[in-house]
Chains A and B, each alone.
Chain A
């Protein structure tokens, strides 16, 4: 029997109003790759943050090499041999590779830094994982993939027993991904345990030995990867959501209008080239692709945030010259941004003030606000979208993610958009609010609104989109229609399937 390097028993973490992690057991053997799966909000990240010492669990025990331990700080976690490689890289761009590798554990000679020794050791570590990069190089000049390798090198240099990789391949090219997998195999032979968090089924089936599926904070299933198949894993991941998604999918309209509302012709900007597509009246058009494929950038360009440099956008046959957000708003092109906390809500303001913000000059053309009129509008919005709590004076920062999103969407709808642009509209939102919102989008479409949804959640696109555009490296590789929109097709084309 192989030895367990990590055992988590009955771990529970409670956030106000919800159990983010609910009595979860999780084990990791030496030299094993254990994949951790689950939809957004399933509790994967929370569980890993408990392991990283970022959060403390309310209940449960953690054993490392059979010894019970207290992981009560980030530092403690590192001392216990746990290394985290998060999606957002934590290396410092303007330091050198060696400086990054030894950050906070610099080698010293007396009171000065021992640069020479650090370079030598860095070189040794990099060689040992087959990475031929000079330790003197400034990290800024490396590719994202190389930077990720540096992070892994850092983990190895701390003699980590457990390495957690959170969506490590999102920003990698195919080549870099293969390199990463080779490295993972090498780490396995050294006896390092790896927890591999990912959405991408194909990778999980390629690299993992076992997998655990979480849903709503609970552990649903742990099994040997070779005994599982994709369809079963997806069933485990979705649970009730599968039914909810079916509900949404049922609402798709059968006979769709062929009247073009928005026409995008040959637009280009930094991250995308010659993008053309149309959105019809009453249609929900999905746009997807990997991180960095340009999916968000296209939306931002149309919404006037980062105006495109060439090409044209036509609204109802007329060219609209969008140079700023105000231009887009005044023509009825309204965007719900992805980064809800920074770009969507103003957390310190009340629900009411957030709701009326966009349209304030229209409600009060003479520039003077009226409390009663504002309250009226806010209360109407609160009822329409079932925003909880129903108190217009509550600060938006204190609401749940789902309700914050409802505030943002409601605010946008007050402008009576002709085209609604949604960027990851249900990210980090609980299943109930999520279904409510998806049904809302569908009913808006039925009333004739043209909607574009950018999403990285495959089940959402499958349930919601009438057509889906797939991007790869800033270009459209495929447009899927109706029944062609399946998890498998989206995955295939968004990883460059048609090109390779």
Chain B
């Protein structure tokens, strides 16, 4: 069971949340102009990363707000939790302790 730190409600059990898959997938800017291949990419193709993966979660039985999470898909360690609309934090850099990338309280597997 993951212990997930909701940005609004604090650490809660995984069972309070629902998964939303890969984060930062934007709706096509010009849907009319898309080829079948591009539609296929948008509808059916998502990254399937082994390692650090940016994904969306929603706190269904709490504040009901969506947020983003950077999680390792092998160790399941939660590396960062950040708000919708914010870019994926760069965990390679040493100075990750910014408002964009808060190390979640109780982020364990």
Whether A and B are associated in the same complex: the answer reads no
- Residue numbers of A with Cβ under 8 A of B are none
